[in-house]
């Protein structure tokens, strides 16, 4: 994204991605989509199915982790100035309720807590189609100067 619009701020970059209607490859693999973005806020949706189960038959914990990491990351991205980049340093997940292939359309909403010169903090929560809280996350992200593309 920042490679495509390096002169734009984070919100403009994410909005440009949203406008294409395409998802990065991880989103395509998991069939998880960014559906909303504002400055400091993002929403992802996904419908877990039989392709994302763990050996116990529940939804693999990585599915919710991927949605929550994405929600925290894009919430932080949308708060950045032009020329800044970021990456997740740490992600803490609380699995409150198990997801199943019957959970329906799940929504992960991310929110930035603070953005400093070097570190951003974000949090996210994931609800199932019935509106039940299934998982929460807190994330620490490193903010750094974007490297120009070679
Ligand atoms: C069950 C508990 C851990 C604890 O809940 P508590 O503190 O006791 O709370 P509470 O009693 O309020 O129950 C809440 C609701 O849960 C239901 N329920 C309760 N017990 C069971 C049960 N035994 N089985 C099924 N459901 C149970 C209970 O009826 C209630 O539902 P209801 O309101 O009646 O409709 C809950 O926090 C949870 O499910 N977290 C999600 C964990 C998760 O999904 N982790 C990620 C996947 S792991 C992975 O992938 C790693 C891996 C990968 C690859 C290879 C190997 C491994």
Beta-bridge partners for 124? 110, 137
Tell how far the Cα of 134 is from the centroid of ligand 1, in angstroms: 9
Task: Report the chain's mean pLDDT, rounded to a whole number.
Answer: 95
- Please give all residues whose beta carbon lies within 6 A of any atom in ligand 1, as ranges: 54-55, 58, 60-61, 95-98
CATH number for 10-145: choose from 3.40.640.10, 3.30.565.10, 3.20.20.70, 3.10.129.10: 3.10.129.10
Which tens digits make up the pLDDT trace of 37-59? Answer: 999 999 999 999 999 999 999 99
Instruction: Write down the pLDDT at residue 6.
Output: 79
- pTM given for the model: 0.91
Residues 6-44 pLDDT 10s: 789 999 999 999 999 999 999 999 999 999 999 999 999
In this predicted model, what pLDDT tens digit does every residue of 64-82 receive, in sequence order? 999 999 999 999 999 999 9
Q: Where are the domains of the chain?
A: 10-145
| Atom 33 (ligand 1) nearest CA | 97
The sign of the CA dihedral 57, 61, 66, 72 is positive
Residue among 96, 97, 100, 135 to mutate when testing ligand 1 (max atoms within 8 A of CB): 97
Nearest residue (by CA) to ligand 1, atom 11, is 97
| The pLDDT of residue 2 | 54
ipTM score of complex: 0.78
pLDDT of 84 strictly over 60 = yes
Partnered with residue 141 across adjacent β-strands are 88, 120
83 Cα to the center of ligand 1, angstroms:
42
Strand order in the sheet with 84-95: 32-38, 41-46, 106-115, 119-127, 133-145, 84-95
Nearest CA to ligand 1 atom 40: 97
For residues 83 and 95, the answer to whether their CB atoms sit within 8 Å is: no
């Amino acid at each position: 994204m920042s490679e495509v619009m390096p002169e734009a701020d984070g919100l403009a970059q994410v909005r440009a991605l949203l406008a294409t209607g395409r998802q990065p490859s991880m989103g395509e693999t998991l069939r998880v989509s960014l559906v909303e973005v504002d400055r400091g806020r993002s929403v992802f949706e996904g419908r877990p199915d039989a392709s994302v189960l763990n050996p116990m038959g529940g939804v693999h914990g990585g599915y919710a982790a991927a949605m929550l990491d994405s929600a925290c990351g894009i919430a932080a991205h949308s708060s950045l100035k032009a020329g800044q980049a970021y990456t997740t340093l740490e992600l803490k997940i609380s699995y409150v309720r198990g997801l199943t292939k019957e959970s329906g359309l799940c929504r992960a909403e991310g929110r930035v807590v603070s953005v400093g010169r070097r570190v951003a903090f974000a949090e996210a929560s994931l609800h199932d189609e019935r509106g039940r809280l299934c998982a929460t996350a807190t994330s620490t992200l490193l903010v750094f100067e974007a490297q120009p593309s070679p």
